[in-house]
Amino acid sequence: MRFLVVFITFLIVYTGFNQVVDDSTRNVYGPKTTTVISEDQWLNNYGGYVPLDTSIYLFERQSEVDKSARRYQNLGVLGTALFPIFYTPGKTFGRTSGYEAYLPYASQPSEVKYYDTKSPFIDMFVLLGGENRNIVDIGFSRNVNENWNLGFDFRRITVDKQLARDGRGDRQVEGSTFVGYTHYKHGKLPYRFMLHYSQMNHNTAELGGVRYPNADSLQSDLFDFNNALLRLEEAQTNGKERRVHLYQDFQLADQFQLYHTLDRRIEENTFKDFTDGSAGGNYDTYADFYPNFFVDEDSTYQRARFSSFTNEVGFKGDLASVFYRTYVKVRRVDFDYNYFDPQAGSLEKYIGGYARFRWKEQFAVTGNGAYLAGGEYTLGGTISSDILNASYQTTKYSVPFIYLNYFGNNHEWSNSFNPIFTNQLKASLRVDWKSLEIIPMAALTSFQNFVYFDQERQPRQNTDPLLLSSIGADLNIRILNEKGEGWHLENEGLFSTVTGKGAGIIRVPKFYYNGRFFWRGNAFKDKVPFEIGLDTHARSAYFANTFAPEIQQFYLQDEFQIPGYYKADLFINMRLDKFFLSLKWIHIDQPSDNGYFASPFYPGQPRVVDLIFRWMFFD
């Protein structure tokens, strides 16, 4: 952290003395001269470089839970394990490890930004959170010449325990992510490439949740944050990921381009816990938490390692208003644990394609499909317009490795599960009339051969069809003056049900709500845009899944119902030229003796104040 402070100070001083100005001493470069693009835009031939985003809208939402519109549950603290509240079909229909609780903290190829800078560009983001919760993100990018750019992004997150903290600096989360990237367009030949290397190292102290002080305790007694009784004391998880990713293409004609992607990924997840000698009373923070001890009764160490190497080759092109892409792909995967290797490396062979029809900027239709030798496949499409948006996807994909075979100190199983089959249909309709916008929506997701972890933390498969149905609407109201300033009331509500034999294995809240009520305007002679308002969330009571850190999986439980709750965050967002600022009071409505639960046995973040800022420098 000291290094980061010194480095940030150096960057500020350096850029302050090296601003590029014109004859009128005004800065020549800024957010409009620095542009950005993603791999998906090159891969699917749409759009181009766009200016940097300088909007302050939703700037107060910076945690992974907030950025997902609260569609993740976590363990109550920034940087902890994540689980999707509304179950989603697998995005990868080849083999995966199944270790996904910390995967959202790793950088994905689709998220990497490639810049075209007319001058060296520095992007600095800092979240100084209450109770010593901090994020620092520093990005640097510059063009070597007009065709070649390189840069890096470094993100660091440190979070103190919010439960039973032993003084300042008693960490619960320490994580870092690094991405180094470059892209190049040949000056004469129609050749270009994108290349990046990324790595994540995420360490978490696993607390196991809180426990009741005595047999007569109530749920409200679990909100004594400073004196909380923890279920675990010495447990630690570590998630690591390293990836090298390359995209390149060569244009033979407008109608025909060759392309190639290469992806090498290594994922490693470890867990360790040791008896600390403090067991006593009615609860032992080691022996009473785990169901079995197959290897060692006083220490646990478990590791899982997954690797993949993917090569994809294809051709694509534009035919009038139609874009097409077809490809073949070979993917080698391997997976093993520290105690045994359940399967030797295997080779997956795919063929697939994608097509898009676009009429001006008002209407677009896409279709996609892929087949994996052996019988797995995915097929789907989308329709998008100013009024109607709809999508359909059907997928048959492999069960993740962890559900099939496992042996560790606390668990053992060997299963032969059938591939999972899912169908998902989504649709929304947008009606915008004067100051009112209404977007009714519906989502239907069916599962066949659904896999899950039961109340005993054992993997199971339900062969009967299940249907998750969600219907709702966005209702947005604007009350503006002649300058376009005014009040905005944004509401999102969903009502969800699960039907089918065994419907109880999918747990979702029946009612789910997000709201944002704010004033948007400009201050200081219209030079400083700002927003001030409330960011709210509510959901109904349900028996949410809870977390087993030794296998990094969320599993069913029937003893702890998360009560329905409502929470509100007060925020102020503003932008002063290239400086963005947000003050956020989290859970401003929290009573002094109560709160909400992010997951069973895990109280949500108590009331704190966060200072968030972003500063862009253009040398």
> How many Cα atoms are found within 13 Å in the side-chain-facing hemisphere of 571?
29
pLDDT (0 to 100) of residue 27: 59
Taking only the tens place, the pLDDT of each residue in 529-568 is 999 999 999 999 999 999 999 999 999 999 999 999 999 9
Q: Which residue has the tokens 């066949």?
A: 448
| Residue 163: pLDDT over 60 | yes
For residues 7 and 42, which has the higher predicted lDDT (pLDDT)?
A: 42
For residues 402 and 24, which has the higher predicted lDDT (pLDDT)?
A: 402
| Residue 190: pLDDT over 90 | yes
Domains of the chain: 2-618 (2.40.170.20)
pLDDT (0 to 100) of residue 277: 55
| Residue 458: pLDDT over 90 | yes
Give whole-number Cα distances, 326 to 46, 286, 332, 396, 517, in Å: 16, 53, 20, 20, 45
Tokens of 186: 């040949």
Taking only the tens place, the pLDDT of each residue in 514-529 is 999 999 999 998 999 9
| Residue 11: pLDDT over 60 | no
Q: State the SS3 of 109-153.
A: HHHCCEEECCCCEEEEEEEEECCCEEEEEEEEEEEEECCEEEEEE
Q: What is the DSSP letter of 503?
A: G
pLDDT (0 to 100) of residue 409: 95
Q: State the SS3 of 283-336.
A: ECCCCCCCCCCCCCCCEEEEEEEEEEEEEEEEEEEEECCEEEEEEEEEEEEEEE
Q: Are 85 and 511 in contact (CB under 8 A)?
A: no
Q: What's the pTM value of the predicted model, to 2 decimals?
A: 0.92
- Rounded to a whole number of angstroms, the CA Rg of the chain reads 25
pLDDT (0 to 100) of residue 24: 46
Confidence band (pLDDT; 50, 70, 90) for 13? very low
What mean pLDDT value characterizes the chain?
A: 93
Nearest to 276 by CA among 287, 263, 292, 262: 287
Longest dimension (CA), the chain: 78
pLDDT (0 to 100) of residue 16: 46
> Around Cβ 327, how many Cβ atoms within 10 Å?
19
**C-alpha 474: how far from its chain's center?**
22
Tokens of 20: 């590029």
Taking only the tens place, the pLDDT of each residue in 39-69 is 999 999 998 999 999 999 999 999 999 999 9
pLDDT (0 to 100) of residue 280: 58
Q: Which of 118-122, 441-445, 470-474 has the lowest mean pLDDT?
A: 118-122
| Residue 184: pLDDT over 70 | yes
Q: Are 580 and 614 in contact (CB under 8 A)?
A: yes
pLDDT (0 to 100) of residue 279: 55
Taking only the tens place, the pLDDT of each residue in 196-221 is 999 999 999 999 999 998 888 888 88
Partners of 350 in the β-ladder: 329, 372
Give 290: exposed, middle or buried? Use CB within 10 Å, 0-12, 13-18, 19+.
Answer: buried
Nearest to 174 by CA among 155, 160, 158: 158
Q: How far apart are CA 311 and CA 368, in angstroms?
A: 19
What mean pLDDT is predicted for residues 148-153?
97
Tokens of 475: 């209702």
Q: Are 370 and 352 in contact (CB under 8 A)?
A: yes
**Residue 346 DSSP SS3:** strand
pLDDT-above-70 percentage for the chain: 94
Alpha-carbon dihedral sign for residues 82, 83, 89, 95? positive
Nearest to 204 by CA among 164, 240, 166: 240
Q: Which residue has the tokens 């929304």?
A: 428
What mean pLDDT is predicted for residues 450-466?
97
Q: Are 468 and 459 in contact (CB under 8 A)?
A: no
Confidence band (pLDDT; 50, 70, 90) for 342? confident
For residues 5 and 566, which has the higher predicted lDDT (pLDDT)?
A: 566
The helices-and-strands tally (H runs, E runs) of the chain is 4, 36
| Residue 345: pLDDT over 90 | no
Residue 337: which residues within 8 A CB-CB, separation 6 or more? 302, 303, 304, 305, 406, 407, 408
Confidence band (pLDDT; 50, 70, 90) for 462? very high
Instruction: Name the pairing type of β-strands 363-372 and 121-129.
Output: unpaired
